[in-house]
C-alpha cells in the first residue's frame, strides 16, 4: 500500500527563490565554477532557462554571453525544457543502496518511456541524475524543483499520482526559483 502523499513529499533542499543565489555563492570562488554551477542548475531544474542563466551570471559576475558559450558548446546542457515535468531520479550512492534503480524502473514502466526520454505529449521527461543533496531522505526523485522522498522501489505510480495532484505547486515553485 502506498505511503500517504504528505509523508513522502518534502520541499526541495534549497529555499524557494534562493536556489540561484545558493548556487552562485557555492561556486563563484572555485576554479571551473561556471560549468559546475550550470551542471547543478540543470540537475535541479532539468535545463538551463534563460532567466536562470541571467540571474546566475549576474550573481557570479559572469557575462551572459560567456554562459551561453558554455551551454551551447556542451551537448549535455539543455536550454529548453525536454518535458513540462522533468522527473529526475537520483542514482547517487545513498539512493542506489535504497532501491533507486527500482524507482527508476517503475517510473519508466508507468510512463512507458526509457530513461533519458520524454512522453510523446512532452508532459513528462524521465532522467537519472547524481546526488540531489538530500541523501538522508533517500531514495529521492525531484520533479522540476520539488522533491519526493523515502520512496519504495515500486512507487512509480504513486509518484505520478503525487505529481498530478501537486502540479500547481510544482509550477509555482519553479517560477519562484528564478525570481
Residues forming contacts to ligand FES in the complex (CB under 6 A) are 90, 92-95, 131-135, 138, 140
Q: Give the CA distances from residue 87 to residues 47, 60, 71, 141, in Å, rounded to whole numbers and listed in that order.
A: 12, 28, 21, 7
Nearest approach in angstroms of CB 60 to ligand FES is 24
Residue carrying C-alpha cell 525531484? 142
Cα 160–chain centre separation? 15
The least CB distance from residue 92 to ligand FES, in Å, is 3
Q: Which is nearer to ligand FES, 62 or 159 (CB)?
A: 159
Distance CA 11, CA 14 (A): 8
User: Is the Cβ of residue 46 or residue 92 nearer to ligand FES in the bound state?
Assistant: 92
Which CB, 42 or 53, lies closer to ligand FES? 42
DSSP assigned state of 166:
H
In whole angstroms, the minimum distance from the beta carbon of 134 to ligand FES comes to 5
Please, which residue, 34 or 103, has the CB nearer to ligand FES? 103
Helix, strand or coil for residue 3? coil
Nearest distance from residue 77's CB to ligand FES, in Å? 21
Whole-angstrom CA distances from 97 to 44, 102, 139 are 21, 11, 8
Determine the residue with CB nearest ligand FES.
92
Amino acid at each position: 500500500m502506498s505511503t500517504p502523499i504528505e509523508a513522502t513529499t518534502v520541499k526541495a533542499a534549497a529555499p524557494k527563490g534562493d536556489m540561484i543565489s545558493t548556487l552562485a555563492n557555492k561556486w563563484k570562488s572555485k576554479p571551473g565554477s561556471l560549468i559546475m554551477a550550470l551542471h547543478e542548475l540543470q540537475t535541479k531544474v532539468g535545463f538551463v532557462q534563460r532567466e536562470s542563466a541571467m540571474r546566475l551570471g549576474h550573481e557570479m559576475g559572469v557575462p551572459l554571453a560567456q554562459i551561453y558559450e558554455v551551454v551551447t558548446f556542451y551537448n549535455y546542457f539543455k536550454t529548453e525544457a525536454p518535458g513540462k515535468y522533468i522527473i529526475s531520479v537520483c542514482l547517487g550512492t545513498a539512493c542506489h543502496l535504497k532501491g533507486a534503480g527500482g524507482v527508476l524502473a517503475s517510473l519508466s514502466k508507468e510512463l512507458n518511456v526509457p530513461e533519458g526520454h520524454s512522453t510523446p505529449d512532452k508532459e513528462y521527461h524521465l532522467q537519472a541524475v547524481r546526488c540531489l543533496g538530500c541523501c538522508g531522505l533517500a531514495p529521492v526523485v525531484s520533479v522540476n524543483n520539488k522533491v519526493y522522498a523515502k520512496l519504495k522501489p515500486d512507487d512509480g505510480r504513486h509518484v505520478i499520482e503525487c505529481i498530478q495532484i501537486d502540479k500547481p505547486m510544482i509550477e509555482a515553485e519553479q517560477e519562484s526559483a528564478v525570481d
